[in-house]
Amino acid sequence: MISSHLSVLESSSIKYASATLFRTPKLDSTGRVEEWRSISYKQFLHDVELFARYWTRVFDQDQLPKRSVVGMWYVIIISWYLGLYQYITFRLSGFTYTDVLHIYGISRAGYIPQLFSLRLPNPDVIYELMHRAGAKVIIYDHTFESILDNCPVPKHCALQTERIENVQASLPGIWDHDENDTVFIFHTSGSTSGSPKLVPMSYRWLNSVVVKSHHISKPQIPDRQDVTVSM
């Protein structure tokens, strides 16, 4: 059985339901941290499925088939949770919890995220990479609104909060894939050829990351939880 970010999350949300997965800051009007909010494994799974159902409804209105590629223009670097005592760490445009929910949610809804870096500020480059990957729709950071007037595919602004409407929509099984199916599409920097190249990642590759993590990412102190900080 091929493991993935979704299967690991589901099993962890049962085994470590109340354990803390994220701590997110609550800021005051000056930008100072007032307090830290803890998000459990169970809550994260709930929120991922909430986002998955929301985007399923949106894409159904776009008549977008499952397994379609969805461009996501706001990601810089991504890594994911792979076992107990670890945290998911993402470096995104806003470094927010909703950024993580978008990536997991789109994947959980049965689509393939194509992740674009903020280092690609030209929409023409984004459109070309989407064309090569066969992407049918784009989710974008709100800061790109003014430069997407000529977008060749349906476009949707990323949600700004995890507090969204709970809609009714069916989700595919988390095992409904082959090991050679694509799970994410990344790209190179383009520094060698002058143009970024697509880097599709398969479930087989993702499974190897999961397996390796159990060997190299164990906590230094067995009875304590390691913490990774994203800045």
Please write the tens of the pLDDT for every residue from 37-66.
Answer: 999 999 999 999 999 999 999 999 999 999
pLDDT of residue 7: 95
CA atoms within 13 A on the CB side of 75: 27
Query: Is residue 85 very low, low, confident or very high in pLDDT (cuts 50, 70, 90)?
Result: very low
Could you tell me if 84 and 223 are in contact, meaning their C-beta atoms sit under 8 angstroms apart? no
Q: What domains can you pick out in the chain, each with its CATH number? A: 5-216 (3.40.50.980)
Predicted TM-score (pTM) of this structure: 0.86
Please write the tens of the pLDDT for every residue from 201-211.
Answer: 999 999 999 89
What secondary structure letter does DSSP report for 158? P
- Single out the residue of 155, 154, 161, 153 nearest to residue 102, CA to CA: 161
